[in-house]
């Protein structure tokens, strides 16, 4: 049957050698090699007598940037774990409480909300003109006792809190399903033996999540170490910085390309080391999460305790999660609506930035979805060969590794390599939209491919008999067999990538100009000029547009999945024939 399948593939366009996918793989590998070569050449300039090591040790700022990035990433990772573990336990224990469904939905906020919007929301709560200071000033006016105002929010505490805002919900989305998937008889046994909540955590809940602690800490550490926009907006100056912020300063402020190259190579080296640790450690390789969907247990009330003290503590934890996730968004929403919303809407620069952002976001989403489908099809075709040759095995390895290359290279690093590679051949700012588009495509491709490839290969394997029975070509097979099954997944990828591109403040920071701006960069400029009301209004509009493009992806997925299914037609025809 397998041989007939190969003949069929060859006759109808599915070649033994999926050249389109291999061309993409070759382009990714070639681009990486070309960028690395350009960096190495720029790292050893002819007009600079310093060696690489001398340049590394001659500037104290480099060592401080690395130390600051490592320190804030470690604090953010530890803080995220400290917040996520007890909140995951409480959300499992109080699964059926009123409002918990909404809180579980809000934990997916980090997948959609732009970092610039989150920074503006935190400032709306904790800033000098935020909600907390406004309440303290109002109380101080009504009472004879003066209350102290909050200190400046900017600095290390703001960066750490922003990272916890994004990464604690991500950990909860991983830990919560593992707690809910504990067999029901474990909870019954715990109730029969009279286990206290502390014993339940020690013997049931902690064993369920401890295997994911280290992998998630490594992943979150990598995210925080590579942070750019949050540190740029909330760092408050050079005291809190990362390598990416220093790269941006070296190119746009100091115009020091040698320093930018050195920092870029350091950033890539640390990212590769962390990724290798995450992939090579046996525990991490076996326990990396495959999905973040939650599980609804049948008898979750077994976890509940009659202790009033525990109930009070759980209420405090729920309120803390509410203040962490929802309060910044609400504060930003009301401040934006009551601020200079109509002033922002009347500015032509807003509409130009909105047009640029939407064009880049939707184009990126279309390109990434198409490329992810091509690579998934390539993976399927390479898997058809029972006795692959040596180069075919190499092709499989290159497919998996080349797609993941961009996962360890942050967007600002990618933009730096483009800047250094092309600055001698073209006007960088004239081609800025295409560079931002290329970087966003490369950033969105790894996750999209991982989300799509497994189910795509499974769907292609299952529809093999129908393809042979109906003699379908590639287009017909895609329409009637693949899209009804994969439509929602493609729509999810489209919406996720579009939302990510809408809120990106990485590459645009290098290539922005008076003629080319996006909404995140416009928001950053307004916040940097202390136009907080306009920044809040822009943040609300950016959040609304981001949610709209994400919903557009969901609707697109539903539309694609409504294609007539040949599998259903096949079953009905056989039923009538019988």
Q: Is residue 159 part of a domain?
A: yes
As a whole-number percent, the residues of the chain with pLDDT over 70 amount to: 78
Domain count, the chain: 1
What value does the mean pLDDT take over residues 438-452? 84
Q: Is residue 573 part of a domain?
A: no
Q: Is residue 575 part of a domain?
A: no
What value does the mean pLDDT take over residues 126-132? 79
For the cut 60, the answer to whether the pLDDT of residue 540 exceeds it is: yes
More confident residue, 79 or 185: 79
Length of the chain equals 578
Q: Render pLDDT for 497-510 as a digit per residue (tens, 0 to 9).
A: 998 888 888 788 88
Q: Render pLDDT for 14-50 as a digit per residue (tens, 0 to 9).
A: 444 466 777 887 777 777 777 777 777 766 654 444 5
- The CATH number for 81's domain is 1.10.3720.10
Of the ranges 89-93, 94-98, 471-475, 573-577, which is most confident?
89-93
pTM of the model: 0.78
**Full residue range of the structural domain in which residue 165 is found:** 59-338
If pLDDT is split at 50, 70 and 90, which confidence band does 287 have? very low
Give the model's pLDDT for residue 146: 62
Give the model's pLDDT for residue 565: 53
Q: Render pLDDT for 71-110 as a digit per residue (tens, 0 to 9).
A: 999 999 999 999 999 999 888 888 888 888 888 888 877 7
What value does the mean pLDDT take over residues 221-246? 84
> Nearest CA to 499 among 462, 551, 426?
551
Mean pLDDT (the chain) is 77
For the cut 50, the answer to whether the pLDDT of residue 455 exceeds it is: yes
Sequence-separated (6 or more) residues with CB below 8 Å from residue 503: 113, 114, 115, 116, 117, 520, 542, 546
For the cut 80, the answer to whether the pLDDT of residue 401 exceeds it is: no
Task: State phi, psi for 151 to the nearest 5 degrees.
Answer: -70, 175
Give the model's pLDDT for residue 524: 87
Give the model's pLDDT for residue 102: 84
Q: Is residue 23 part of a domain?
A: no
Q: What is the CA radius of gyration of the chain?
A: 26
> Nearest CA to 109 among 170, 162, 175?
170
Q: Is residue 444 part of a domain?
A: no
Give the model's pLDDT for residue 389: 67
Q: Which residue has the tokens 């539903």?
A: 558
Q: Render pLDDT for 297-326 as a digit per residue (tens, 0 to 9).
A: 545 445 556 678 888 888 898 899 888 888
More confident residue, 246 or 293: 246
Give the model's pLDDT for residue 10: 39
| Number of continuous H segments (helices) and E segments (strands) in the chain | 28, 0
User: How far apart, in whole angstroms, are the C-alpha atoms of residue 147 and residue 89?
Assistant: 36
User: How far apart, in whole angstroms, are the C-alpha atoms of residue 94 and residue 88?
Assistant: 10
User: How far apart, in whole angstroms, are the C-alpha atoms of residue 79 and residue 81?
Assistant: 5
Sequence-separated (6 or more) residues with CB below 8 Å from residue 93: 300, 303, 304, 305, 314
What value does the mean pLDDT take over residues 398-417? 73
Q: Is residue 515 part of a domain?
A: no
More confident residue, 332 or 477: 332
Give the model's pLDDT for residue 239: 79
What value does the mean pLDDT take over residues 143-159? 74
Sequence-separated (6 or more) residues with CB below 8 Å from residue 311: 305
DSSP 303: G
Q: Is residue 128 part of a domain?
A: yes
Q: Is residue 262 part of a domain?
A: yes
More confident residue, 200 or 46: 200
If pLDDT is split at 50, 70 and 90, which confidence band does 292 have? very low
Give the model's pLDDT for residue 456: 81
The residues pairing with 516 across neighbouring beta strands, listed in sequence order, are: 513
For the cut 80, the answer to whether the pLDDT of residue 180 exceeds it is: yes
If pLDDT is split at 50, 70 and 90, which confidence band does 8 have? very low
Q: Cα–Cα distances in Å, from 172 out to 35, 97, 106, 306, 360? A: 37, 17, 11, 25, 31
As a whole-number percent, the residues of the chain with pLDDT over 90 amount to: 10
Residue 136: half-sphere exposure toward Cβ, Cα within 13 Å: 15
Give the model's pLDDT for residue 408: 65
Give the model's pLDDT for residue 15: 43
């Amino acid at each position: 049957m397998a041989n007939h399948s190969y003949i069929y593939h060859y006759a109808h366009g599915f070649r033994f050698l999926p050249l389109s996918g291999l061309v993409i793989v070759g382009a990714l590998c070639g681009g990486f090699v070309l960028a690395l070569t350009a960096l190495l050449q720029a790292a050893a300039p002819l007009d600079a007598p310093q060696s690489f090591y001398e340049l590394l040790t001659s500037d104290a700022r480099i060592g401080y940037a690395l130390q600051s990035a490592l320190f804030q990433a470690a604090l953010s990772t530890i803080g995220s774990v400290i917040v996520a573990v007890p909140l995951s336990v409480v959300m499992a224990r109080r699964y059926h409480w009123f409002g918990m469904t909404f809180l579980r939905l809000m934990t997916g906020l980090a997948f959609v909300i732009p970092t610039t919007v989150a920074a503006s929301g935190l400032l709306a709560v904790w800033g000098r003109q935020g909600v907390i200071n406004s309440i303290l000033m109002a109380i101080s006016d009504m009472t004879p006792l003066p209350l102290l105002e909050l200190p400046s929010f900017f600095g290390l505490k703001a960066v750490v809190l922003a990272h916890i805002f994004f990464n604690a919900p991500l950990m909860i989305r991983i830990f919560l399903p593992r707690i809910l998937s504990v067999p029901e008889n474990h909870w019954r046994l715990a109730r029969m033996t009279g286990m206290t909540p502390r014993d339940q955590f020690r013997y049931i809940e902690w064993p369920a999540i401890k295997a994911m602690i280290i992998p998630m800490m490594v992943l979150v550490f990598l995210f925080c170490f590579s942070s750019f926009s949050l540190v740029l907006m909330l760092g408050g100056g050079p005291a809190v910085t990362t390598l990416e912020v220093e790269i941006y300063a070296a190119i746009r402020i100091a115009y020091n390309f040698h320093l930018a190259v050195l920092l870029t190579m350091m950033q890539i080296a640390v990212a590769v080391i962390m990724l290798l640790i995450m992939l090579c450690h046996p525990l991490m390789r076996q326990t990396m999460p495959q999905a973040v969907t939650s599980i609804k247990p049948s008898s979750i009330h077994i976890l509940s305790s009659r202790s009033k003290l525990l109930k009070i503590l759980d209420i405090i934890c729920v309120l803390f999660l509410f203040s962490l996730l929802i309060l910044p968004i609400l504060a930003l929403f009301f401040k934006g609506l009551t601020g200079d919303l109509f002033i922002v809407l009347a500015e032509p620069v807003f509409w130009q930035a909105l047009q640029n952002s939407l064009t880049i976001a939707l184009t990126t989403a279309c390109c990434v979805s198409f490329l992810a489908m091509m690579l998934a099809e390539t993976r399927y075709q390479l898997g058809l060969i029972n006795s692959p040759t040596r180069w075919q095995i190499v092709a499989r390895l290159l497919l998996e590794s080349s797609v993941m290359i961009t996962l360890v290279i942050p967007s600002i690093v990618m933009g730096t390599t483009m800047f250094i590679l092309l600055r001698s051949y073209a006007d960088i700012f004239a081609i800025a939209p295409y560079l931002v588009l290329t970087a966003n495509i490369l950033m969105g491709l790894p996750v999209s491919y991982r989300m799509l490839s497994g189910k795509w290969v499974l769907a292609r394997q299952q529809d093999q008999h129908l393809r042979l029975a109906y003699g379908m070509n590639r287009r017909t097979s895609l329409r009637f067999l693949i899209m009804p099954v994969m439509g929602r997944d493609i729509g999810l990828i489209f919406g996720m990538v579009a939302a990510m591109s809408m809120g990106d403040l990485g590459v645009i920071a290098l290539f922005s100009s008076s003629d080319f701006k996006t909404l995140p960069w416009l928001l950053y400029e307004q916040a940097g000029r202390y136009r907080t009301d306009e920044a809040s209004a822009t943040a609300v509009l950016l959040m609304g547009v981001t949610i709209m493009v994400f919903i557009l992806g969901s609707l697109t997925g539903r539309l694609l999945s409504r294609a007539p299914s040949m599998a259903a037609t096949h079953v009905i025809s056989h039923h009538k024939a019988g």
